[in-house]
Amino acid sequence: MKASIQAAVFGATGYSGFELVRLLSRHAGAKKPMLVRRNGESGGCADLSEAYPQLLGNGGFPLESFSWQRMKDAGVDVVFFATPHEFSRELAPEAIAQGFRVIDLSGAWRLKQADNRKVYGFAETQAQVELDSSAVYGLPELHADEIKSATLLANPGCYSTSIILALAPWIRAEYVDVEHGIICDSKSGVSGAGKSPTAKTHFVEVDGNFCAYSVFGHRHTGEVLEQLGLDSGSLQFTPHLLPIPRGILSTIYVKLARPATSEELEQTLREFYAGKPWVRVFGAARLPQIKFSLNTNYCDIGFSLSPDGKRAVLVSCIDNLLKGAAGQAVQNMNLMFGFSEKEGLQ
């Protein structure tokens, strides 16, 4: 395969940005990515290998000053924003106006409903609201056809990915008693909070600790509601911070709308994800664990069924920096430009 796609990456110095650069640099259909320094971004490094020595020996990854013209001259096809929400909200419309396709890893464009977007506190212009309606939610297992032609691709949140992929097959098959309510109890490694240190993510606060946070107010809640067609009263999502670097495990509790067997529920999952290379169904025989999907682009899904066949517990695991961020972004790029979904991710 001849390398043909030229990507530009904003936010390469962050954890997700670094993973994105690492994946793109080994992608057979992509040229070495152009790394763009954000306006106002001071200090830091001149080459990404200074911050991430893992990249040494690959010919250098210089961070260039931001310029749309420079990006055009470099033949950029797609722009990745691994940046804060506010930056993507401002720059993505400009990138599209310049003729670039955009894959945004932030939460800037994921939500269709204005009430759900309020959690981000965006000041919304008419142009931004119009882009909200046209942005494609980049969950390949649910929206592959729309992703292929997307101009603005909103990469899903990490928690959202683990929850939506676990629940979608059973909800669409009407196995879940939605009115009874769904409980999503999710745990993430510290890298999910980003690279900038805070008092809550400092080593001495996290090590040996385990805590819930953003109860009734996490930004990913709206994504789950919109993608699964739920109302806010049907879902309780509580995120927790694990004292590990990376990985997510979501434990999801549901009451079934009708009694079912393990075989029926497992078959529903397997049929739904047939031909979807980055979802592994464990079924009822063995529950996923974080270490199984760590450093991969897999979402692992398993479940346990109560003896009476009326209640079930789903367990879903992903690597928050890969299937929950950079890996899924490359999977989306593959669909947008006609590559195999596996390219660059194996």
* Residue 158 among the catalytic residues: yes
Residues 6+ away with beta carbon under 8 Å from 51: 13, 18, 44, 45
In a 13 Å sphere around the CA of 150, the CA atoms on its Cβ side amount to: 32
Give, in degrees to the nearest 5, the angle at Cα 244 between 240 and 245. 110
Side chain identity, residue 1: M
Tally Cβ neighbours within 10 Å of residue 47.
Answer: 14
Distance CA 293, CA 300 (A): 7
| Two tokens, residue 306 | 């109560």
| Two tokens, residue 198 | 């805070």
The string of DSSP letters for 185-220 reads: EEEE-GGGG-SS--TTTSHHHHTT--EE-STTT-TT
Nearest to 97 by CA among 72, 117, 66, 124: 72
The string of DSSP letters for 38-90 reads: PTT--SS-SBHHHH-GGGTTSS--BEEEP-HHHHHHTT--EEEE-S-HHHHHH
Active-site residue among 158, 184, 299, 317? 158
- Catalytic residue list: 158
